[in-house]
Structures are given as structure tokens and as C-alpha cells.
Structure 1
Amino acid sequence: MAAFFKQRNVIAALIIFAIIFPFITNNTYFVHVMTLSFIWMIGVYGLNLLAGYTGYLSLAHAGFFAIGAYALSLLTTKAQLNYWVAFILALIITSVLGLVIGLISLRTKEHFFAIYTLCVGYIIYLVIDKWDSLTGGIRGLIGIPGPGNIGPIEFTTPVSNYYLVLFFLLLTVLVMYRIVHSLTGRTFIAIRNSEDLAQTIGISTMKNKLLVFVISTFFAGLSGALYASFIRFIGPDIGYISITFDLLTYLLVGGIGTLSGPIVGTVLIVWVSQQLQFLQDYRMLIFGPVLTLLVIFYPRGIVGGIAESLMKRKQKKQAREEQLVMAKKSVAATAASNENR
């Protein structure tokens, strides 16, 4: 049982379930909700790499999500570019802006960094909301084209869009897995544990922090671009701070600093929210306290809490085995001593 809950096994099980999900349900609404969940997961993974593995909480994540969405939308609707060309350019634009903002924001630390990025995120929201001639202002942008064909493959049905987004999610999980288990990932963790100590052993903290910040914004832009082409309409609200807190909630519930946490937290909260829609505004009276208790009793999230419980159980088992071995040695020594007498 303990072996099953290893993160690699959990991720593999969730991936298998995701692949067969359209075959076990005929409800297109469920497919729609799951596709939307995948899009959020990509954004949460970007936030997790920065906050969970490097220790820098960015509250501008929704802003970069909106930049990716608006970049794709403007390039396809106003510049009339090919979808996939616009898609790649949207990711480049988001990453470049992330690089510029990161050069300034990463000169701050801890809560100062969080406050600074909160201000940056709000400025991005205001620019989108007030630049009416470019972004459409509060009216937003409509008529955003869906993903373009790739050879004979078309993305015109909900299921085809589902598998396209799933492909990008799997690619995101693979990239995150490779990063976390690489020397670069260990460098990020060293910065999280003690930035001063990381500097003393020769790690270029500014260079690595800037790298992880740009990677984080890249995945925020990726999720934003996929969101725009999936929903086909966007407004300035997608860049508001509430979106950042939604993503952060998904991460905290699932397990910050874990590989499977973004998947577990996002799926759980999105589906529970959907099931409580019949309560309308009152659903937060149930949802809010449950989340609060979860964060209090499982500060490392569901995945982190389970992993910690299994680790404690393993340590207790090892301690019992060691005590048993010591007891056997003691009995053997006593018996040998008695024989010598």
C-alpha cells in the first residue's frame, strides 16, 4: 500500500485515468470540466516550481496567465496569424515579459517579493482592463479561433480538445519531473532551504531564481493560451488577483512542493465546486471551512500529508525492527554469558 502512494505511482495512475476518461463517460459537460481542470493544472505546476521548490511566492501568476491568453487572442484575431505561430509567439512574449519583471522583482525576498508581484499582477490587470483600443477593455475579446489542424488531425470536437490539452499537461508533468530530479532542481531546493547557504557553496542564486521565474511564467502563459483557445472568449477578469489565489488554493490543497499535488488539488477542488453549484453563493459556507481545516491539519496538502504519514509509519516500523534485533542480540549475549559461567 505504501509503495502505491509513491508520487510516481500516483501520477501514473492519474494519467491512465485521464486517458480513458472520455471512454467511461458520455457526458460532454464532464469532458469540458476535466479539460478546464487540465488547463489550470498547467498553471499550477508553474506556480509550484517557483513557490514549492524555490520558496518564492509570486502573486502575479494570473497576470502572466492573462498575458498568454491575450497574446494568443490578439495575434489570431487582429494580426490574423496562423494559430500555431501565434501560440508559439504568445509563449515567447510571456517569457520575455517574465524575464524583464523577474530582473526587478527578484531583487526582493520573502514577503517583499510577494507584495511586489501582487502589485505587478494588479498593474497587468489594469492595463488589460483600461487599454480599450487593444484589449477591448471590459468587453473582452470574442471570436478567438480554436487550435489549428496538424496535418490530418483536427481539433473540432470536445474530445479532441481534451486530448490536445492532456498532451500539453503530460508534457508539463514530464518537464517538471526532469527539472525536479536534475541538478538544477536540487539547486532550486537548496535556494528554498537556505539562500545564504546556497550562495556560500557557490550557487548563483540570482541566475537560478531568474531561470525558475521565467519557467514559471512560461507555463502560466501556456495555460493562458490554451484557456483562450478553449473558451473562445476572454475578459480582463482572467488577470485578476482572485485567479492567482484560486491557483494557489489548488496547490496548497494538493500539496505544495510535490509533483502530484497540483493534479490532486486541482481535480478535487474543481469537481467539488461543480458539485456544490446548486447551493449558488452559499457553497462557500461549506467549501471555505473545509479548506481552512485541510490547511490547518494538512499544511503540506493532501499528497504531502499522506507522504508524511507513510514516512512516519515506515520510521516506526524500522525502529521496531531495530529494537527487535537489539533484543535478540541481548538475549544471545545473555545466553552466551550464562554458558561461560
Structure 2
Amino acid sequence: MHQYAILANPGHNRIYFDTALKIARLELEAITQAQGITIEAFGEDDLGLPASVSFTTSQPMDDAALKAIVASSIYYALFEVQADGLLRPIKAPQIYTFPNGMSQILKYVGKTNEQFTRLMINLALSACKTQSEQIRLVDPMCGKGTTLYEGMVRGFNVEGIEINTKWTQEIQAYMVKYLKTGKYKHKVTKSKRNGPDGKKVADCFSVDTAADKADFAAGKLQNFKLYPGDTRQANLLLKKNSCDILVSDLPYGVQHGNKNAKDEKLDRSALTLLEEAVPAWRHGLKPKGAMVISFNEFTMKWRDVAKVLQANGLTVLDEAPYTGYLHRVDQSINRNLIVAIKP
């Protein structure tokens, strides 16, 4: 048997409060299962670490499993627990292309925490079975871009849709400034997406870049696309069966809203928006691709979200380690998430 311990990121407890360790264990189970490794048991011993999770496996973790563990939202440092109780540090493999700061620099009211975003991405990757060489991530309600930046940090191609044009302008300005400041080679192109009738649906802001100059020269690129448009028209913006994972933080009905098609007022019904948008989202998802969306249980329930996804031909993962993530954010937000795959 092999025992490991993860020193928790200092911000982990602050996000999930009393459910922090439970959520961390579920995420680790999903990650290791996807790598073909089974966690036999979680440790209860005090290892002398400030906040940590320890677990036992029947086989040692290979490089792929270590990379997945290092990408977990709880990760701060990894150790192998020796027979005498001593902790042997394990050097973290390099998993990022761009620096983590890409997603962490921006601070604003209503921002989804980067660690929670990373959790959702990890669950989507664990459920995804597309076997793509390079993952393409889409956030069809990308807000100010946290999920997109997290995807870029991980080496993915990313696409985002956001109806708030002020936010999409901020994303474009930030992305270009970040790449220029960091002296990253990049090429910006702008185009438009038309509907079947030939009328413009949305503009498209696209950046091809690479964290390494040699990779850019060799054409080993990451692509960043952004559409200022209506998520319910995602089928007109995304290529069919083009995205491996869809990750999005739905409107909570507190800081967020969605525009109603009949008028320009904010519609607080997130469930109505979901019912209208999921068919378009499904269009862009590859077969065996995975969808992870988070939402406020005070405005809609997990079972209602599951019904919408199932009605659109998606398979909802309704057992651990893909369930059990309900946690309090504040007095008005009780956040949960749901994982589904496209058959």
C-alpha cells in the first residue's frame, strides 16, 4: 500500500467552510479514478500538517496521476507518507503553460473563486472520455473570463460566450495586455459569425498564442475565442461536436442575471435560461464530452437541473464522486454543481 498526503491550499477552507475536506476527497476520488487508480481509504491520522488530506492506494501514482493530483483545487504540496510517519516531499510535475496569475490577477465582486473553477474543470476532465490530444473548453456564460483563463493556464484551447459587451471588451483588453506585458508571442484576429439567414449573430475575437516562443514558431498554439452574444445561440457560434468539456457558473439570481429575449430587462429565472440554452450547448459538445455547471440551490434544485439535462439527451452522473458538492457561499448562495456527459 502507498500513502500520500496533500497539504491544502490556504484558501481551501475559506471557500467551502465545514464541507472543505469532504469536497476535497470527492474531487480526489474523481481525479484518481480517471487515472485508473483507486483510493483504498482516506487517513484520519494527524500528520502534523496545518490542513491536509491523506489517502492510501494499492499502487504507486505514475506521472499522469501525479499531474492530475497537482491540478486539484486543494493542492499546495504533496508528500509520500513513509512507514515511520515521516513525510517525503514529492516534486510537483509541471502541468501549467501560462502562469497561474493569468486567472488570479483580476479581482471583482461576483468573481467565481479560481479554486472552485479548477474543481469544476477537474470534474469535467475526469468525466470526459473524448481522448482528444488537446482539450477544448467552452464556457457559454463566461462572465469576466475566470474559466477561460484557468483553461489557458492548463494548456487548453478555450471559447467563451458572454452577453454583457462591457465584460467582453474588458476580457479582450486584459488578454492582449497580459500577453504583451509578458512578452508572449500572439496573433489577434477578428471576424464575425453569421446565422443561416446570413445575418450576423456575434463578433468573434480570437487569439493564437503560446507560452513558449519556440512552440509559437513551431505552430504549437493555444487558441482563445470570445463571442459577445447570447448563450442560447451557442449552436450558431460553436462548431458542432467541437468541445471536449463545458464548464460554467450559472446565474445565482443575486449578482447575476440573464437578458430575456422579449425585452432587455434581467430575467432572474436561471432554470428558464438553462432550458433554453442546453440544446445549443449540447450542439457544441463532442460525443463523450462532459459538462459541469454550478448553480444556487436557493433558486433551483439539483433534481430540476438534472431533468433539464436528461431531457436534452445528456447522461447525468448521479453517484459519488460526482455528487455531494453542496456548500454554503454566503447567506444568499447555497452552491451546488452537476456533472453530465454526452453519449
TM-score, with structure 1 as normaliser: 0.23
**Relative to total residues, which structure has the larger strand share, 1 or 2?**
2
Q: Which has the higher contact order (CA 8 A, sep 6+)?
A: 1
> Which has a greater percent of helix?
1
In our comparison, the structure showing a higher alpha carbon Rg is 1
